[in-house]
């Protein structure tokens, strides 16, 4: 299992990210107050940089598959700064969903494992609204991988095909790609 070392820099980064989200929500509640929204954006981005590092942040935003999200998030950020908070937040939200869409299955699994709230997220009516209907297959594959001996995972690469996805396991990580 991958360990996440929590040093002081990452703690400060998570705090800044949390305050960024808080100020952004507060700015929306106060009828798109551009000062609170700008402060929320700056705190969110600085917290992200402190949490995962400057190099990883730049690599994340500069990936070719993230260009659409990066450009819309950047233009929205600029529009909030110049005084057009409604249009800026619409563009930022679109960019946010495009940039972080790969993390929704992980977030869904995390929410289902929270002791009290997890029960709500495990109900069929909540699961049916899920953005990723094939999340159960990913969850099954995830449990299979954690049950395998470590020597098996790193000895060779294998491929498991499901109805709509092809999962391949190599020595470093797991990839899910649509099969053709």
pLDDT greater than 90 at residue 107: no
pLDDT greater than 70 at residue 142: no
Question: Residues near 11 by Cβ (< 8 Å), separated by ≥ 6?
Answer: none
pLDDT score for 105: 82
Q: Quote the CA–CA distance of 5 and 76 in Å, as a whole number.
A: 33
pLDDT score for 134: 53
Concatenated DSSP letters of 21-54: HHHHHHHHHTTS-HHHHHHHHHHHHHHHHHHH-H
pLDDT greater than 90 at residue 36: yes
Mean pLDDT confidence for 131-160:
46
pLDDT greater than 70 at residue 111: yes
What size, in residues, is the chain?
A: 180
């Amino acid at each position: 299992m991958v360990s996440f070392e929590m040093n002081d820099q990452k703690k400060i980064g998570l705090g800044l990210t949390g305050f960024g989200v808080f100020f952004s929500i507060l700015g929306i509640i106060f009828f798109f107050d551009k000062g609170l929204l700008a402060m929320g954006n700056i705190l969110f981005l600085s917290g992200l940089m402190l949490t995962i590092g400057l190099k990883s942040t730049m690599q994340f935003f500069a990936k070719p598959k993230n260009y659409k999200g990066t450009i819309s998030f950047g233009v929205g950020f600029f529009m909030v700064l110049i005084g057009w908070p409604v249009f800026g937040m619409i563009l930022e939200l679109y960019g946010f969903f495009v940039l972080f869409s790969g993390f929704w299955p992980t977030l869904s699994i995390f929410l289902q494992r929270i002791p009290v709230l997890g029960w709500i997220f495990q109900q069929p009516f909540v699961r049916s609204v899920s953005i990723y209907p094939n999340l159960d297959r990913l969850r099954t594959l995830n449990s299979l991988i954690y049950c395998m001996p470590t020597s098996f995972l790193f000895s060779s690469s294998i491929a498991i095909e499901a109805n709509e996805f092809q999962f391949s396991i190599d020595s470093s990580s797991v990839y899910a790609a649509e099969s053709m």
